[in-house]
Amino acid sequence: MDSFDAFYQQLDSEALLKRHGPQLVAEAREILHGTPDAKIAGVVLTADSLEAVPFREMIANATGQPVPAAMMVGICPRAMVEQVLTA
């Protein structure tokens, strides 16, 4: 990866977090209000990120439904994120 690619990727990440962060926080608070001990994670994955493919596969396996190759934003069990990041 070119150093400029990494620079622009970082800018994209910051913009995505600013855009989706408030909604993720609101969703997390709602979940934690009902289940205070829940271990959750907020996820913002672009369609072309390295983590998107295995994450889509996990969601498809869990739901039995195909997951489109698109941006994913939401709250999930923290164990799902840990699985992808440690793979």
Q: How many CB atoms lie within 10 A of CB 10?
A: 10
pLDDT tens digits for 59-85?
A: 999 899 999 899 999 999 999 888 887
The pTM of the full predicted model, rounded to 2 decimals, is 0.75
What digits encode the pLDDT tens for the residues 11-50? 578 889 899 999 999 999 999 999 999 999 999 988 888 8
Start-to-end CA distance of the chain, whole Å, equals 21
Query: Kindly report the CA angle at 77 between 39 and 75, in degrees rounded to 5?
Result: 105
